[in-house]
Structure 1
Amino acid sequence: MKNNVIAISRQYGSGGRELANILAEKLGYKLYDRQIVHMAAAQLGISGMSESQLKEFEDNVPPLSLKFMPFYIFGMSGAKPMNHKMFEQESEIIRRLAKDGKCIILGRCADAVLQGNENVCSVFVCANDEY
């Protein structure tokens, strides 16, 4: 294997971030999480937003309409919503990071974006309510 990539998805409160930090330190891998959002925002020309504003922007998903992604395939026109552009930009960044070298990508749908790549190990971390 040329590069090794670990894509970690997690359930809220399961300790996935802690696991990612420990793995990155022990394996000597780079760890990417929120940096991907900042890189995508910069490439889209979105600047001057705080961490909380970026998080709110990323999480804000408007109600589905006829302009939802599957309908673009069938020739519907119109500009894509900014959160779709953001996801596409984040996906491209994830693909580039995976090609660059050994890394751990936390969240950001990296498991789906990198699905089918031979050098990717996808992990889902979950925990029960007591944890």
Structure 2
Amino acid sequence: MTIDVQGVIQALSRAVEVSPTDNEENLYPVITISRDFGTGGEEISKMLAERLGLEIFDETIIDAIAQRSEVNKNVLKNLHEKVSSASDAWLYAMVTGKNVSRDEYVNALITVIRCIYHKGGIVIGRGGHVVLQGRDVLRVRLTGSREACAKRVAHRERLSLSEAKRKCADTNKARAAFVWNMFNSRLNDPTNFDMTINTDHFGHYEQVVEILLRSMEMMGYNRRRTGTTNR
């Protein structure tokens, strides 16, 4: 029994449906955020979403696919993060009990992200910067030094510095592997992004948000879209 990919796509399309009266001038902005672990990506995304009045799409993407396909959310999320190649398609079937191919999953994910483009929002990770390449989207990469990121993670999760460094390295490796194996794109290639920001020396994440808002204005990503005024 295969996952009903078309059912997944239709469900997500309804969830992000644009009203028939809407046109390009009424679409909200779209930002994709790729982040190293410990750079403040989630916090920055939340602040940016609040300022722009946008939704954040991260777990939401996984939730919607899992709900429609009747696959446990945590299992699917684990597969999403750890699948390494087309040869690992058997892992999907083994864990979910269904004949789930890698290509089916990737195609569903791509369609979901493209649906979000028509609604507007902030896409965290998931290779959104690759899927929406060439569109009027601001593609942001947040990075940082090993020490600075590990210190943040150690403080937040009450880990030793060595444990935090290991967790950062493992998480970053998994994220890079996912993007490479799903989209054949290198996560550390700066040409895949419109902006790359090292968050090491920003005392407050609000400062990064201000840079992003100003950059959107200067780069023209909000000229065709409403909803980009500060709130």
Which of the five TM-score ranges fits, normalised by the shorter chain?
0.7 to 0.9
Alignment of 1:59-78 (within 5 A): 59-65=81-87
Confirm or deny: 8 A CA contact 2:66 2:73 kept in the other structure.
no
Take 1:81 and 1:62, find their aligned partners in 2: how far apart are those partners? 15
Q: How many residues align?
A: 113
Tell me which of 55, 70, 73 is aligned to 1:46. 70
By percentage of residues, which structure has more helix? Answer: 2
Take 1:23 and 1:83, find their aligned partners in 2: how far apart are those partners? 32
Alignment of 1:17-28 (within 5 A): 17-28=42-53
Tell me which of 128, 145, 152 is aligned to 1:110. 128
Take 2:145 and 2:123, find their aligned partners in 1: how far apart are those partners? 23
Take 1:55 and 1:89, find their aligned partners in 2: how far apart are those partners? 14
Tell me which of 13, 31, 53 is aligned to 1:6. 31
Instruction: After TM superposition, give the deviation of residue 125 of structure 1 in Å.
Output: 0.4
Q: TM-score scaled to structure 2, two decimals? A: 0.44
Q: TM-score scaled to structure 1, two decimals? A: 0.74
What does residue 204 of structure 2 align with?
none
Query: Percentage identity across aligned positions?
Result: 29
What does residue 139 of structure 2 align with?
122
| Higher CA-based Rg | 2
- Matching residue's letter, 2:129: D
Instruction: After TM superposition, give the deviation of residue 30 of structure 1 in Å.
Output: 1.0
- Choose 32-41 or 56-65, whichever is displaced more: 56-65
**Which fold has the larger relative contact order, with Cα–Cα distance below 8 Å and residues 6 or more apart in sequence?**
1
Tell me which of 70, 79, 90 is aligned to 2:109. 90
> Cα–Cα, structure 1 residues 63 and 94, in superposed 2: closer, same or farther, change >3 Å?
closer
Take 1:63 and 1:5, find their aligned partners in 2: how far apart are those partners? 29
Structure 2 segments unaligned to the other structure (5+ residues): 1-23, 90-98, 149-231
> Cα–Cα, structure 1 residues 60 and 92, in superposed 2: closer, same or farther, change >3 Å?
same
Structure 1 segments unaligned to the other structure (5+ residues): 68-79
Give the 3-state SS of the residue equivalent to 1:7 in structure 2. strand
Take 1:85 and 1:108, find their aligned partners in 2: how far apart are those partners? 15
Give the 3-state SS of the residue equivalent to 2:47 in structure 1. helix
> Cα–Cα, structure 1 residues 9 and 63, in superposed 2: closer, same or farther, change >3 Å?
closer
Give the 3-state SS of the residue equivalent to 1:105 in structure 2. strand
CA RMSD of aligned residues (A): 2.2
Confirm or deny: 8 A CA contact 1:33 1:106 kept in the other structure.
yes
